[in-house]
Amino acid sequence: MHLDQQKFVGESIFAKIKRHWQGKGTLAWAYWGFGFGGGLILLLLLSVAFLFVLPFAYSPDKGVQGSPLFSTYLAIAGCIYAAYVVATLVMVLRCGENAQWSGWKYVARVLVCIWLVNLIVNLAIRVL
């Protein structure tokens, strides 16, 4: 299915995210715009938040590892990242049907599945 992009000019970012969540957007924006670009923005925001929290969480005797503030930051950042991962996967899988060449949907699906498996394996290695 080819989408007419002219009707979406001037659309807010929240409307665009909602449209892609519903599978009515382009695969290119779901993968590159939200998946890649959104990931970079999220990394920047979480890094700035980390730099803000770090001075308040550090203590000379325990460092940051024993700080409840730092543990809370990690929990919140982890939840935000998990929500981002789910949103990216859903958008790419649903918007794959809108690719101009049907091969792109398979390429994108394989890449996000590899990304998800990599995340799960790395998380399991660190937890176990």
Mean pLDDT for back-to-back runs of 10 residues, the chain (128 residues) = 59 92 94 95 96 89 86 94 95 92 92 93 88
Give the pLDDT score at 19: 95
Give the pLDDT score at 20: 95
Give the pLDDT score at 8: 63
Asked if residue 41 lies in contact with residue 113, where contact means CB atoms within 8 angstroms, the answer is no
State which amino acid sits at residue 5: Q
Asked if residue 83 lies in contact with residue 49, where contact means CB atoms within 8 angstroms, the answer is no
Give the pLDDT score at 4: 53
Q: How far apart are the first and last CA of the chain?
A: 45
Report the alpha-carbon distance of residue 10 to residue 75 in Å, rounded: 35
Give the pLDDT score at 34: 95
Give the pLDDT score at 126: 86
Give the pLDDT score at 62: 81
As separate numbers, helices (DSSP H) first and strands (DSSP E) second, the chain gives 5, 0
